[in-house]
Amino acid sequence: MYEGYITDIKRIKIGHSENLKAGTGLTVLIPPANNTCSVEVRGSAPGTRETDLLDPINSVESVNAIILSGGSAYGLDAASGVMHALEKDGLGFDVGVCKVPIVSQAVLFDLAYKDWKIRPDEKMGEIAYKNASEKENRQGIIGAGTGATVGKILGMENAMKSGLGSASIKVKDLIVAAIVAVNAFGDIYDYEKRIQIAGPKVDGKILNTLDIMPKTMIDFTSFANKNTTIGIIATNAKFDKTRLKKISQMAHDGFARSINPVHTGFDGDTIFALSTNEINSDLNLVGSLAAKVVSRAIANAIYASTSKNGIKSK
């Protein structure tokens, strides 16, 4: 596995909540005050909350929380629990009469994994918020990665188990880190080792989705909106929303290097980019490292997972 975790950046907290029996969960990132945040959505089937607000042309610069969750659109309910917990702690955007917590979120489709009737909800959001810690460093089948699977072109019976992965890169005082819930339609590669590490698995052999696609593309309707890889890039460097938007775009190169095919009509691939604004650094350096650390986090999501509920792991 690759080294590091997104909590290597000071004052960032990560909290998880999951229902292992139902096969779903969520992960929440609680950043320090005076952060800056933006986002880039590349997949065609996204499920998100408060992403328009993060466009550079819009007013709010900071967020109080970012949620990655299962449950498809149902999982957006979890944000209410995080919002209520933030409100109790007096955190949010001051609108005069009260403070409104800014909670952004992206969801993945895990309803077909186990029990679709149980999804991340308000209570699970509250639990994840209370669990948030600067010392959190767990990966695999936890939080938003609980119901994650990959390589689904031959159906769930031949898919492989994935999960939540994280990694960080340090260059002197600069830290660039990622946390990713990997629930892709396509295959997963360890980009730096140049090897395929997950995909449709038949008789113990990992197959290549692109080899299978030409034979099965007559009717792909059963795959629609049932995947999505979602993640967060964080850095301690100082950037405004415009530059973070560019960094989130560059970070998607990590998806392209490690997931094939990627950004399909069956995925809602989304990456948030967040800065804690502590040191000066170069946009091109941070964006390039962001792509690299995203690839490492994706690989770690596979390496940290185990076989579960009949879905094989590595």
Q: How many domains does the chain have?
A: 1
CATH code: domain of residue 257: 3.60.70.12
Tell whether 309 is covered by a domain. Answer: no
Tell whether 256 is covered by a domain. Answer: yes
DSSP 32-75: PTT-EEEEEE-SSS--EES-GGGSTTSS----SEEEEESSGGGG
Tell me the sheet residues that pair with 13.
30
- All residue ranges of the chain with pLDDT < 70 are 217-226, 308-310, 312, 314
* pLDDT for 309: 65
In angstroms, rounded to a whole number, what is the distance separating the alpha carbons of residues 295 and 289? 10
Cα separations (Å) of 186 from 48, 129, 237?
21, 31, 32
* pLDDT for 215: 76
Tell whether 80 is covered by a domain. Answer: yes
In angstroms, rounded to a whole number, what is the distance separating the alpha carbons of residues 185 and 199? 9
Tell whether 16 is covered by a domain. Answer: yes
Give the count of beta carbons closer than 10 Å to the beta carbon of residue 88.
11
pTM of the model: 0.95
* pLDDT for 181: 98
Tell whether 246 is covered by a domain. Answer: yes
* pLDDT for 311: 75
Domain that holds residue 158: 6-303
CB-count burial class (<10 Å; 0-12, 13-18, 19+) for 264 = buried
Tell whether 147 is covered by a domain. Answer: yes
CB-based contacts of 241, cutoff 8 Å, min separation 6:
36, 37, 38, 54, 55, 56, 61
Tell whether 313 is covered by a domain. Answer: no
Tell whether 311 is covered by a domain. Answer: no
* pLDDT for 312: 66
The residue among 56, 284, 273 whose CA lies nearest residue 177 is 273
